[in-house]
């Protein structure tokens, strides 16, 4: 059983948001692919996603608390049983690695687009700080998350407020944005569910151990609510920006284009927000992947973390946009197994007839 810590609801919420708002989110690519292309229906999709984030976050945290989870493995085995648990373990572990590769690719794309440097320099620098943070342990990770997450959310909301003031979207413009055939998944309810699904695949690896460390159960629910709402507010803000500036969809990093419309300095500032978002999710991915195979703080943990980081650096050469569109959508659909198992496990524990 993991030693309990006095984690606050804010720390839990910050960790939840941090592992969710990575390169795809802050760049605008995820929101474009899974929400904005549905035009008016994108708002319904945002509401649905927010509710699902709250529910599944709370379920994972409670399971982690009850099971004393060290990684995602205990939770998915408890929820899905031995056979389905084994299948989901492969999906989760694979996507933690793939998500890390996407974050490193996103860092390279950001540095290349914003500063004119070779993309590999951004990827290598991001891997260096990510690996350094993970090797500091959970305390260092939580400290960085608690500091950066408020900055990230405020940065996204502030940019959205300026864009909406300068270019308020009209009903006709929002309707014109409806292009479901261009979305990663051509149905807004399924798209919202897919978005939640692949993010939960990542989040389970961090929220499970956090649930085990928390002393007070009530903070788990509060953290899940605050985290889910925080993600939802961020998605809504970016969605409104993309609906206001449809030309942004043509760029690999739509939100950087939107910031450039405001002012050159705003674009440079938002590049910092984007890199911070990439960093937080990369840390969650690497920590979750490595803790699946070794206990944090051990020599084996450090060795696996370094090896996984280098391998992800190579995989990231596939390109950021390709990884977001195909890897995320594919794993999100596979992650339906995880969501189904979590729902089954939740009601099984509360309804005696569900066995």
The band of 186, judged by pLDDT with boundaries at 50, 70 and 90, is confident
What is residue 318's DSSP assignment? G
- Please give the pLDDT value at position 215: 75
In the predicted structure, residue 154 carries a pLDDT above the cut 80: yes
Over residues 110-124, the pLDDT tens digits come to: 788 777 888 889 899
Provide the pLDDT for residue 325. Answer: 59
Q: Are 180 and 37 in contact (CB under 8 A)?
A: yes
Cα gap 198→194, rounded to integer Å: 6
By C-alpha distance, which of 234, 198, 139, 179 is closest to 325?
198
**Residue % of the chain over a pLDDT of 70:** 91
Q: Which band of pLDDT confidence, cut at 50, 70 and 90, is reported for residue 125?
A: very high
**Residue 302, C-beta contacts closer than 8 angstroms, at least 6 positions apart:** 135
């Amino acid at each position: 059983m993991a030693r309990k810590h006095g984690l606050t609801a804010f720390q839990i919420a910050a960790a939840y948001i941090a592992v969710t708002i990575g390169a795809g989110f802050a760049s605008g690519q995820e929101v474009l692919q899974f929400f904005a292309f549905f035009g008016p229906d994108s708002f319904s999709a945002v509401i649905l996603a927010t509710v699902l984030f709250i529910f599944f976050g709370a379920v994972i945290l409670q399971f982690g608390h009850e099971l004393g989870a060290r990684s995602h493995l205990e939770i998915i085995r408890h929820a899905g049983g031995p056979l389905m648990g084994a299948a989901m373990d492969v999906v989760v572990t694979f996507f933690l690695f793939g998500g890390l590769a996407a974050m490193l690719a996103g860092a390279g794309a950001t540095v290349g687009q914003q500063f004119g440097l070779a993309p590999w320099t951004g990827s290598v620098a991001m891997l260096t700080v990510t690996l350094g943070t993970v090797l500091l342990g959970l305390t260092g990770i939580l400290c960085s998350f608690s500091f950066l997450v408020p900055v990230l959310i405020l940065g996204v909301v502030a940019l959205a407020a300026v864009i909406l003031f300068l270019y308020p979207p009209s009903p006709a413009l929002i309707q014109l944005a409806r292009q479901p055939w261009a979305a990663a998944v051509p149905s807004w309810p399924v798209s919202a569910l897919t978005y939640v699904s692949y993010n939960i695949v990542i989040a389970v690896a961090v929220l499970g151990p956090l649930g085990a460390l928390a002393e007070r159960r009530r903070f788990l629910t509060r953290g899940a609510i605050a985290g889910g709402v925080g993600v939802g507010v961020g998605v809504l803000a970016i969605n409104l920006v993309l609906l206001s500036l449809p030309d942004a969809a043509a760029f690999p990093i739509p939100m950087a284009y939107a910031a450039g419309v405001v002012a050159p300095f705003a674009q440079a500032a938002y590049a910092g927000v984007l890199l911070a978002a990439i960093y937080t999710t990369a840390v969650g991915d690497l920590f979750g992947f490595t803790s699946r195979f070794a206990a944090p703080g051990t020599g084996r943990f450090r060795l696996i973390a370094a090896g996984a980081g280098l391998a992800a650096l190579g995989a990231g050469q596939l390109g950021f946009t390709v990884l977001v569109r195909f890897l995320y959508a594919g794993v999100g659909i596979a992650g339906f197994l995880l969501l189904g198992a979590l729902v089954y496990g939740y009601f099984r524990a509360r309804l005696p007839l569900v066995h």
